[in-house]
Amino acid sequence: MTALSPAKEAAFEKVTGLWIAIPTPFDQSGEIDEQALAHSVDYYIDGLGVNGIFCGGVMGEFWAMTLDERRRCHALVVDATAGRVPLMAHVGHHVFSEAAELSRHAESIGIDFAIAINPYFPINPSEDLIRNWYRRLAAASPIPLFLFNTSYSGYTISPELIAELAELDTVCGIKNPKPMDHLLRVKEMVGDRIVVCDAGEEEWLGLHLDHGFPALMSTPALAMFQVPGRRPIADYTALADSGDLEAAWRLHATLDGERHAFQRWMRDRWLAQRAGAIPIAELKSWLTLIGLPQGEVRPPLVPLSPGELDELGADLDRLGLLGALN
């Protein structure tokens, strides 16, 4: 087997366990709420025991932030984390020079990994365009780079092209929230060269045990389903790693109520009633109702109505999560 590059070695060493995708808190004036962001990072690490943080991504409203704000957000998370867990910062952008700048900035402030959403194009791009984009981005900065094969970009990268990109020295992983056949095909093709991850909490235990997936990358469910003293995802993962598989699956099954609420608020309901808007208002409201305020969403997103907040609160109350941190 060919020796792995330093970037790939770093990914296999550090990208393990439970990684959280975090929102970016904004205050009432629409600015980054630096105090709320720092408090939230402390909570994710000390209260929930996450193994890594993904900041500035889709759930972080990167698409509504200026380049300076994105750099500032990344720097604030670095400061708040203070080296306690590894960090991944989203650097994807439709302007190549800005994606490259974000990559260089992330490396310069000590972020462990960059991750870039599939590049946006006005039309469904050819593999040559995607290949050229990622090759140039990988060459623009020495930071270890994850691919982010998300449908938010409007298309899917094939397993075959992922295998080509995995040959690049700085490409060290992929977040690949795709149907199971695609996900497992990618793992089969490149899992010995780059870290392959999925974002679904419900599938995580089976992928970890049956297919050797090293990390859940990355989901806000870690903060939506768990509170200090009640961390079932962390607990069933620990049970699995200790070899107590029966207990792990038994605990995994207790989260069906949380998953049903997640499906309702983060998938089905917003697609049907909110014209396909990314469900960040739902995420921020869920965390705020637990007791971790996340502030406003940015246009074109709109906050939940009072009636919607009452419905969400009732769901969280039934789960024992409403006001759990108050």
Assign residue 84 the CATH number of its domain.
3.20.20.70
Q: What is the pLDDT of residue 15?
A: 98
Domain contains 301: yes
pTM: 0.96
Instruction: Summarize the confidence of residues 227-233 as an average pLDDT.
Output: 98
Question: Is 247 found in the same domain as 271?
Answer: no
Question: Is 10 found in the same domain as 135?
Answer: yes
- Sequence-ordered list of residues with C-beta below 8 angstroms from that of 41, at least 6 positions apart, any chain: 22, 53, 77, 80, 81
Domain hosting residue 311, numbered range: 255-326
Domain contains 221: yes
Angle at 198 between CA 192 and CA 204, to 5 degrees: 100
Question: Is 267 found in the same domain as 167?
Answer: no
Burial class (CB in 10 A: 0-12, 13-18, 19+), 276: exposed
Question: Is 280 found in the same domain as 309?
Answer: yes
Instruction: Summarize the confidence of residues 140-149 as an average pLDDT.
Output: 97
Question: Is 273 found in the same domain as 206?
Answer: no
Question: Is 33 found in the same domain as 181?
Answer: yes
Q: What is the pLDDT of residue 129?
A: 93
Q: Select from 254, 271, 295 the last residue of a domain.
A: 254
User: With bands split at pLDDT 50, 70 and 90, how would you rate the model's confidence at 206?
Assistant: very high
Domain contains 141: yes
pLDDT at 271 over 70: no
Q: What is the pLDDT of residue 121?
A: 82
Count up the domains in the chain and report the number.
2
CA distances from 105 to 34, 74, 77, 110, 143 (A): 19, 9, 13, 9, 10
Long-range contacts, stretch 124-133, CB < 8 angstroms, 24+ apart:
124/154, 124/155, 125/155, 127/158, 127/161, 130/157, 130/161, 131/161, 131/164, 131/165, 133/96
Question: Is 163 found in the same domain as 109?
Answer: yes
- Residue 146's H or E segment, with its range, is strand 145-148
Q: What is the pLDDT of residue 165?
A: 98
Question: Is 280 found in the same domain as 229?
Answer: no
Q: Considering only 120-129, 177-186, 203-212, which range has the smallest mean pLDDT?
A: 120-129
Question: Is 165 found in the same domain as 307?
Answer: no
Q: Select from 213, 230, 254 the last residue of a domain.
A: 254
Characterize 3-29 residue by residue with b for buried, 16 or more Cβ atoms within 10 angstroms of its Cβ, and e for exposed: ebbebbebbbebbbbbbbbbbbbbeee
Q: Considering only 57-61, 151-155, 187-191, 312-316, which range has the smallest mean pLDDT?
A: 151-155
Domain contains 183: yes
Q: In what order do the strands lie in the sheet with 87-90?
A: 195-197, 171-175, 145-148, 113-117, 87-90, 52-55, 17-21, 215-216
Structure tokens at 89: 């910062």
User: With bands split at pLDDT 50, 70 and 90, how would you rate the model's confidence at 270?
Assistant: low
Residue given tokens 């969400």 in the structure block:
312
Angle at 208 between CA 203 and CA 209, to 5 degrees: 105
Question: Is 182 found in the same domain as 47?
Answer: yes
pLDDT at 151 over 90: no
Domain contains 203: yes
Q: What is the pLDDT of residue 123?
A: 77
Domain contains 127: yes
Q: Select from 254, 276, 291 the last residue of a domain.
A: 254
Domain contains 181: yes
Question: Is 166 found in the same domain as 239?
Answer: yes
Domain contains 1: no
Question: Is 250 found in the same domain as 108?
Answer: yes
Mapped onto helix, strand or coil, the DSSP state of residue 99 is helix
